[in-house]
Chain A
Amino acid sequence: MTLQEQLPEPSNPLGIDGIEFIEYATAQPQALGALLQRMGFLPVARHRSREVTLYRQGAMNLIVNSHAAKEATPTLSALALRVRDAGYAWRHAIDLGAWEMPTRASAMELNIPGIHGVGDSLIYFVDRYREFSIYDVDFVFETDANPKPPALAGLHYFGVVQSIYGERTRDWVDFYRTLFGFSVLPEGQYFGVLPKGTLLESPCHKFYLQLIEPPPGSEDIHWDEALVRIGLGAPDVPAATQALKERGVVFVDRGPVQPSEKGALTQVYLGGVTFELVVSR
């Protein structure tokens, strides 16, 4: 019997199939937009009635939502998961004890079911992502822009980093495992240049969540529970780093997180935005 046969495939009850979009909220969308363009994203569509812009790069959709946003510093405000049946996924999560998202928070005006995630963030369920997309109805695409701009150096979503309070890892593992079928990677299995915390793999094996408790001795650091960083996968990290540097992106080049074959970390932009590159095909 092979090892594979001994370990049953973790179930994927919701039919999760990757990340549909990641959303930032900010009261200064132009500043974030400029940073995103440096990172290789292009604005391709605007919401019909709200201050919401869709950026794209390769397979990645990224929403910048300024509707009702008060803080200038961009925050990661939502993660949208591709699922087999959004209504079923939502009902399944609610039945297991997820919180319905408040309707006032569904600023995109799209009829996307969602639940509360960490902090003030939301988790959406999207099942229209093949022939027909959720953006076709509520967004107006730029006439002179390529609606599907190619990815820079093969960049794609690798995952999202979530900060959590001390001794909360098991709680959040319960949350992601029970509601969505994520599984914990064995201790010591890390990617990139920030090997810490707990890594959870999506049941579709397409992306990861990284849970980070405050490091020891950091009692004086302000630490909240929130989505804090997007991880971008790149097949060739040095090539991606070089391409982004040429576009003016600055990477942390000192200490253990300096760019390597495994990964790289950008400097902090706009008071709180960083991107992490991770080697991934």
Chain B
Amino acid sequence: MDTITLAGPLEAKLAAIRAAGFTQVMLNANDLAGHPGGPGAAIDAVRKSGLRVTGFQVLRDFEGLSGHLHAYKVDIAKAMLEMCRALGSRVLLACSSTSAHATGGFDSLAKDLQKLAMLAIPYGIRIAYEALSWGRHVNEYPQSWDIVAEADRSNLGIAIDSFHILAMRTGPERLEEIVPGKIFLVQLADFMWREIRSREERIDTARHFRVFPGEGVHSAELAELVRTLDRLGYRGDYSFEVFNDDYTQLPVAVVAERARRSVKWLTDQVSRRSLPLRGASTLRG
């Protein structure tokens, strides 16, 4: 599960995630920065929870900048990498840039991601580059894969988020081109309507109206996505990336229970043999 789905203090989120049977948690930078006891207390809480950290999010708008904007973002990236390391997270999620100041030059984007990957090497962190569906120049996973393939760094891969794929109606065909080991994270979420007409509507839906797999209207596509990833050999982590305003005003146990039911739904959709058992969405035992 992802802490962004739940309300309340970090400790309560972790306990609810654990109680629902999950073994991993995706953490947000605010979980550390906003903890009343400071980042150290947040890291302690995560350690004590016994949950493995799936990844840490999110570095925004890193690539494509120049001059002082680039230097500023490098500083931000370094600070986030240090938090990521302190947490014991092996993955930092970096979203494609939405900045009006960012260039779309392919070589420039690849070069910046190479630099980010280099910054992450001494800390043993992998960069998962995600195509945000409202990204300025990169908004579908085939584009993010093209850049990652061009950058060609061992600790640089892509993150797949089903929301953005469904929102952009990107077909799963081009997943076939991706080296399975270069997908560093898969985030799953659905939403509850078929039509998204504008960029603004995509952002709004993504930030407030996502639901767990099995709760939305793209169940068939979602199940197909997971089956395809599995067939192609993806054996990495899955996490529920569900931003939902209703869920953040419900008791954490209620929401975690919905997440647990979503795992059950996914398990039923994808044959037990091929379900990724090590996934973040997988129940213990």
Contacts and interface: CB of A to CB of B under 8 A. Distances in A.
Closest 8 CB pairs of A and B: A97-B118, A170-B154, A97-B115, A97-B119, A175-B121, A171-B121, A171-B155, A171-B154
B105 interface: no
Nearest to A173: B154
Contact of A96 (B78, B115, B122): B115
A117 B123 CA distance: 10
A116 interface: yes
A174 B124 contact: no
Given A97-B114, A172-B121, A174-B117, 4 more contacts: A97-B115, A97-B116, A99-B78, A175-B122
A175 B155 CA distance: 11
B118 A96 contact: yes
A129 interface: no
A39 interface: no
Contacts of B52: none
B153 interface: yes
Contact of B124 (A98, A117, A225): A225
B118 A178 contact: yes
A179 interface: yes
Interface of A: 95-99, 116-118, 165, 168, 170-175, 178-179, 225
Interface string B135-177: 0000000000000000001110000000000000000000000
B122 A99 contact: yes
Given A99-B78, A174-B154, A116 B122 contact: yes
Contacts of A118: 122
Contacts of B119: 97, 99
Contacts of B154: 170-171, 173-174
A115 B114 CA distance: 17
A200 to B, nearest CB: 14
Nearest to B78: A99
B122 A117 contact: yes
A271 to B, nearest CB: 25
A96 B118 CA distance: 7
Interface of B: 78, 114-119, 121-122, 124, 153-155
15 contacts: A95-B115, A97-B114, A97-B117, A97-B119, A98-B118, A99-B119, A168-B124, A171-B124, A171-B154, A171-B155, A174-B121, A175-B121, A175-B122, A178-B114, A179-B118
A179 B154 CA distance: 15
Given A170-B154, A171-B154, A174-B155, A96 B124 contact: no
Nearest to A168: B124
B118 A175 contact: yes
Contacts of B116: 97
Given A171-B155, A174-B154, A174-B155, A96 B114 contact: yes
A165 B124 contact: yes
A67 B124 CA distance: 28
Contacts of A170: 154-155
Contacts of A165: 124
A97 B121 CA distance: 9
A179 B117 CA distance: 12
B113 to A, nearest CB: 10
A172 B121 CA distance: 7
A96 B115 CA distance: 5
| Most chain B CB inside 10 Å of its own CB: which residue of A96, A98, A174 | A174
A211 to B, nearest CB: 12
B107 to A, nearest CB: 15
Contacts of A172: 121
Nearest to A225: B124
Contacts of B153: 174
A117 B155 CA distance: 17
Nearest to A119: B122
A174 B122 contact: no
Contacts of A95: 115
A168 B117 CA distance: 13
Contacts of A179: 118
A170 B154 CA distance: 6
A263 B124 CA distance: 32
Contacts of A117: 122
Nearest to B156: A174
Nearest to B111: A96
Nearest to B152: A174
A172 B118 CA distance: 10
